[in-house]
Every structure is written in C-alpha cells, then in structure tokens.
Structure 1
C-alpha cells in the first residue's frame, strides 16, 4: 500500500483482469445490507458479513463498514474512522503494507467506492472491481462460501496522511450561506432529490442550492459508464458551477461512487460530506428543499 501521487491512476479493475491474476491482489468485500425504507426515517443497515459468507470471490475477506471500518461510538452510521483506526482495521484483516488492494461489493459499487474513498484519503491506492460480484458471477467465475481462510493480523501502517477529501456539516453550511465557494452535488436518485420518494432520513428533499448527479445514472448494465459519457452527464448536471464540488447522499456512500466516476474523468477538486442527509436532516434548522419550493435544483 505504497503512497501514490494519484495521477493517471487506475481506479477500476475488470473481473477478467482480476481473474487472470488473482494472487497479485488482496481483495476486500465491503457490502452492507440496506433494505428499502418502508416509511420516512426507516434506517436499517446490517452487516454484509452473512452475504459474503454465502458467496464471495476466492481469497477475499469481509471489511465491515458498520464495525471496524467506521468510527466507534459515532452518532451517525458509516462515519469515517481516523487514519490510524483505518490502518488498524486493515492490519486486523491481515492486509500488509505492500498489498495491491481491490475492493468490491455485491454489484452496486457504492459500498466498494466508500471504502476506496476512505483509503484514498489516507494515501492508500486501491482499485474498485467494476460491476462487483454481480459481474464476476455473470462471467461464470468461481466463488467460495463460508469463512475458512486463516488470517493473521499484521502491523498497522504508520506515518499516515489526511488528504482532506472529506467535509463536515460546518463546511457544507458555509457553502449554503455563501461564506465559502463550492457546489453541493446530491448523488441520490431524482425522486429522492425532488422529495417525492420515501426516504430513510428525517426530511425529504435535498440541501438548499444543490445540483443532482445520481450515482445510479453513472452505471450501465451494472458497470461504470465510459469516461466520455460520465463527462457528458457531469457537464449537464454541473454546468456553470463553482469549485470545489462537495458530494453528498443519504449517508456518505453513494456520493463516493460519484467521486470515483468523476476522478476517473479527471476531476480532482472533490470532497464528500461524510454525514450527508442523515446528519443534515436531523437538525430542523438546516435548510432543505423539495422541487417547486424555490431555489435548488438540477
């Protein structure tokens, strides 16, 4: 996990490429099970460990984004751990400092992108499996079941950096109030952005002044769209906006897939609002909009 300059990097790996040289990579599974909300405020994330045990890429290990790969005792789900805690979580899984990392999930690519972004923030290069396990199995590639692999903890990486790729509530509020430059970009679906769909969060809609670039719109047949198409979609959504881009969603997960796509197309002035709408909507004093309520649209 050597520190890299992140120029012209490869952020994706195809299932074919991974299957051709599986021993060259340390593979981490990052899925969280997240049922659709039955009513507003219905928030029920569950560990993806059972999903991993049922079928996983041979040799992979499960990285629990609700446990070791989240901040302990945080008020919010999926809060990022400190750089040292993240390094310790990797070491506990047996990840060595020189490992070439691949992260994947069941196929939506949001959870894998979340782990990729956390690693990227502390200077660790990783690649996301394009299409995840869905693509892997569609190609007829082998899977394992159960948890029989023996793992030995390694020494945690030290001398970590913080590249400042995350933003918190006060940073977002400064943009909303006009006290800081930037553009807020919501990664949720158009219906959630508009406030017409049931939400897991306390209030429907989007943060005042946001643009909408849905994470799902960046995928086609389960894999990331071409760089040209992503650039076109980004231009449509973000024309005449200022930088930096601060991406958010419901819990800081889908926003990381948008970050992955934008990085792949050459954007570098990007950050992710970690607390996202779980934090923002919990405070009724913070401005939210649904479409038709005034400013703030796609």
Structure 2
C-alpha cells in the first residue's frame, strides 16, 4: 500500500490488522515532569507493551535503541549505524507501510498528542522511509473504543533497511543561530505557554529562542473526542504563525526534539513540506550561555 494518510483513525487500522504488508509499531515511552526543579524522568514502555498492545504490534524502544547515548543533549537522534541496527527487526521494506502509536506524551499530565509516535515517524522519514502513519488518539483512544488488544511480544521478519537520509529534515544549533532574524524562516516553540514565557525551571535556562512563535503541541486535539481537530481548525492555528507559507522554511523545537515532531507532522499534514526539527532543542540551546533566550515574565 502506498501513500497512506499521515494520520489514521481506529476504524482504518482495525480493518488492516491482518494485512501482511502492515508494520504496526508501539513506540510508547514514559516521561514524567517533576513538580519542582529537575530534568523529566524517562523510562521505556516495553513492560507496558508486554502487558497489553494492539494485536500484532512490535515494540520500538525509542529511549534505548533509537537514541544516541553519546549525543550532546538528552534524546539525541541515533547515528545511522545505530538506527539501521534498531530498525532491522521491524521488517520495514519498500513493500510495507508503517503505522505507529503510543500511550501519550506524559504519565502525570493528560495531554492529547502522539509525540512519541511522531518522533519515530520523523526518524523513519529522515532515514528515508515515507510511507508512515500515526494513529490518532493513540492506544488510549483505541482502548476507549473497545478495540482488541493482546499481551506478550509480537515480532516481524527482520529485513535490511534501504532508505537514504534526508538531511534537510534536521537542523543543528549552529543552523538555528544562523536563522535568527531571517524573515524567511519561522521558528516554532512547541512547549507549554509557561515554558515559552520562561516561568518553568525544566531546562538549564528559562525562556524561548528569540523570534520564536508559539504552538503548544498538546493543543491540537479535541478533549471530548480525543482526536485531532479538523484541518480547518489546525490550519487556522498555523496560518496565524505564518507557518503555512510555501515560500518559508519552518523549524520546530521543544525540550528534547519530541514534541517538535508532532507539530512537524501536523504541518506536513496541512501541506507544508519545508519543515525541519531542531533535534537538540532547549536541552542543548539552554545549556549554551552563548545562545540567547527571551522570557516574558
């Protein structure tokens, strides 16, 4: 199957669970924001996956296997070598398509977004595989709808990954510095309003990158349906930031390059393809005193 939607709903996925070309992936990772100061606590979702997952889904450990432990900032994207080793067991080939889901971004706050899924989707796209969708509402919505689940571990026949990297989908700290003041580049901070304003102490220094626009990654879904708002509503959110102008480049960032990929996915959904993610995000930027920050408090 080619050209699947970027976002799919439960009915769409359930009808295809037995498709031999489907590669269904659980990307659950747990993150807990501390009540006081300190870096968020992160841990693998593998045990939760073993207890219950969508039938046939394999598990991808973003924290352990798809992250470079020697990176400059927490959750730095894996090297090509690391990625190839991690992705081979998922059996992704040119004849397959991928659907990814997770259990939500945080364990202590109910935010409606599938940013861990979006992160893996972005990594696959970066490494050269585009036929990827994210399940709207994730595992929580799947369960609320009474759809089937199973326990244990599911696997696919391993296959070598053939894609080639698309380097334009990622930017470095130096490239963000060079973008400051460039009217043809839109910087989008994907964190909460409090983080954007500089009211929190989650990162080494508070605030946001100068000139950034703000679009909280957790504000794009309807709390009643737990599904994304329609395209008209999403379009209005990003249009007011100038982010849908085809003549401009968009750079999304957040704390560690996770939430930023959710905004990047939605921009792609709305037709904006010129989108890159600042992988180091605030973890890296705020650690460097030479990188300017703006606060609104």
TM > 0.5 between the two?
Answer: yes
**Alignment match, 1:259:** 264
Task: Please tell me whether the aligned partners of residues 83 and 160 of structure 1 are also in contact (alpha carbons under 8 angstroms).
Answer: no
1:46 positional shift: 0.9
**Alignment match, 1:272:** 277
1:14 positional shift: 0.8
Q: Does 1:164 align with 2:168?
A: yes
Q: What is the aligned-residue RMSD (CA, Å)?
A: 2.3
SS in 2 for 1:50: helix
Deviations, residues 92-145 of structure 1 (Å, cap 9, x unaligned): 244445221100111430100011111112231211001100110111001112
Name which of 2, 5, 11 aligns with 1:10. Answer: 5
Return the alpha-carbon distance in structure 1 between the equivalents of residues 269 and 141 of structure 2: 20
Task: Please tell me whether the aligned partners of residues 115 and 258 of structure 2 are also in contact (alpha carbons under 8 angstroms).
Answer: yes
Q: Does 1:217 align with 2:219?
A: yes
For residues 152 and 109 of structure 1, do their structure 2 counterparts lie closer, same or farther at Cα, with a shift above 3 Å needed? closer
TM-score of the aligned structures, taking structure 1 as reference length: 0.87
Gapped regions of structure 1 (runs ≥ 5): 293-298
Q: Does 1:146 align with 2:152?
A: yes
1:17 positional shift: 1.0
SS in 1 for 2:142: helix
SS in 2 for 1:23: coil
Give the stretch that moved more between structures: 9-18 or 152-161: 152-161
**Alignment match, 2:187:** 184
For residues 94 and 239 of structure 1, do their structure 2 counterparts lie closer, same or farther at Cα, with a shift above 3 Å needed? closer
**Alignment match, 1:133:** 139
1:267 positional shift: 0.8
For residues 218 and 179 of structure 1, do their structure 2 counterparts lie closer, same or farther at Cα, with a shift above 3 Å needed? closer
For residues 67 and 15 of structure 1, do their structure 2 counterparts lie closer, same or farther at Cα, with a shift above 3 Å needed? same
User: What stretches of structure 1 move > 6 A for 4+ residues in a row?
Assistant: 239-242
Task: Please tell me whether the aligned partners of residues 71 and 81 of structure 1 are also in contact (alpha carbons under 8 angstroms).
Answer: yes
Return the alpha-carbon distance in structure 2 between the equivalents of residues 88 and 264 of structure 1: 29
Give the stretch that moved more between structures: 137-146 or 273-282: 137-146
Return the alpha-carbon distance in structure 2 between the equivalents of residues 130 and 238 of structure 1: 25
Gapped regions of structure 2 (runs ≥ 5): 105-112
SS in 2 for 1:283: coil
Q: Does 1:55 align with 2:58?
A: no
For residues 11 and 159 of structure 1, do their structure 2 counterparts lie closer, same or farther at Cα, with a shift above 3 Å needed? closer
Q: Does 1:244 align with 2:239?
A: no
Name which of 191, 198, 202 aligns with 1:195. Answer: 198
For residues 105-124 of structure 1, what are the structure 2 equivalents within 5 Å? Answer: 105-107=102-104, 108-124=113-129
Return the alpha-carbon distance in structure 2 between the equivalents of residues 52 and 82 of structure 1: 25
Return the alpha-carbon distance in structure 2 between the equivalents of residues 92 and 20 of structure 1: 24
Return the alpha-carbon distance in structure 1 between the equivalents of residues 193 and 243 of structure 2: 18
SS in 2 for 1:103: strand
1:152 positional shift: 6.0
Return the alpha-carbon distance in structure 2 between the equivalents of residues 109 and 87 of structure 1: 23
SS in 2 for 1:76: coil
Name which of 32, 43, 46 aligns with 1:46. Answer: 43
